[in-house]
Amino acid sequence: MQLNITIGKIKKIIEGECSLDDSFLVKNIASLESAQECDVAVLFDRGDRSVFGTVAAEKIKNSNAGLFLAKNEVVAGKNYFITQDPLGAYHKILAFLQSQQQNVKNLIDQTAVVSEKAIFQDGVSIEPYAVIQDGAQIGKNSFIGAHAYIGKNVTLGNNVKIYPGARVLDRCIVGDHSIIHSGAVVGSDGFGYSVTKTGLRKIPQVGIVRIGAYVEIGANSCIDRATFDQTVIGNGVKIDNFVHISHNVHVGDHTAILAQTIVAGSVKIGIGCQIGGHVAIKDNLTIGNGAKIVSKSAVMRNVEDGKVMCGVPSVPFSDWKRMSVILYKLPDIFKEFKKIKTFLEKRRKGFWGRFFG
């Protein structure tokens, strides 16, 4: 991504100290592998437990980046812009660049189909062939990509980004600074049916989806509307690609859900949970605050606060580890069992041989 700003300008945007002169021009933000001598590479802190291992340090050592935005010096001899929160600093730089590019006037492509009854705040951008239906309300500086669909009476907050081909269906609500990637559908009908003697009869799904602020919905994910009330995605939730959230689900603030996970209807997921990829969660369960579900697990019962669950069906991680050790030892255990069985059979035959031999 192009920057074309000096170190001096960066110092006005973020707090920190730099080993380079204020006049040094930073051209781009780039990865460690692709960065050149006029580029900056960002070293993200992945969490309290994260450390720069030997592999990461080797990448930094071999990188051609002229500058590293980091929390501390990782490899001696490199140029660093040291700041307490590199990821936060990165966000501030991007926000500055976006503010420079924004136009107060709305930029609506002439091929977009926009209802006269839609309401727009300043700075809205709508790309070709997007569709905006009656009563939609689009917040300040929001972006709607090509071929995206915004249904009737939808509410999008400020600085919302709807990528090309995404769908937000009737009456759903998306909070400020949220992102919905291509192919995602927000507000599809929940899978609700009544079993009758003549077959399955559809239960109308008349609720909505309410998405909080700073949420990100991955490509091709689907979030079903509630049967009557609301399917809720809390503030700061991050949902990966190809995730299915069923009707009436409540996802607590700052929870992360990885790709190919399926959450069945009316599940309550707590605050700050981490749910791995390819997880299946049975309907009407409660996942406690801070719980972690290991990838490829099937959750069939409620999970307490802070628990780590793993397996099919899922059990506490400590139990799963013991079970796994036993499972891997089963071939050896079976061999020993056969030896004992053979020994006992020979002994039995020898015993009865005294009388009938």
Helix (H, G, I), strand (E, B) or coil at 115: coil
CA distance 161 to 123: 12
Active site residues: 247
344 neighbors 325 (Cβ within 8 angstroms) = no
The edge-to-edge listing of strands for the beta sheet with 113-114 is 113-114, 131-132, 149-150, 167-168, 185-188, 222-224, 244-245, 262-263, 280-281, 298-299
CA distance 98 to 12: 16
185 neighbors 165 (Cβ within 8 angstroms) = no
Helix (H, G, I), strand (E, B) or coil at 173: strand
Q: Tokens 């994260």 label which residue? A: 50
CA distance 256 to 238: 5
CA quadruple 176, 177, 178, 183: dihedral positive or negative? positive
Question: What are the structure tokens assigned to 340, written together?
Answer: 């004992």
Query: 202 forms bridges with which residues in the sheet?
Result: 193
212: which residues sit within 8 A by CB, 6+ positions away?
175, 178, 232, 233, 234, 235, 236, 237, 253
CA distance 78 to 57: 12
Q: In this structure, which amino acid lies at residue 205?
A: Q
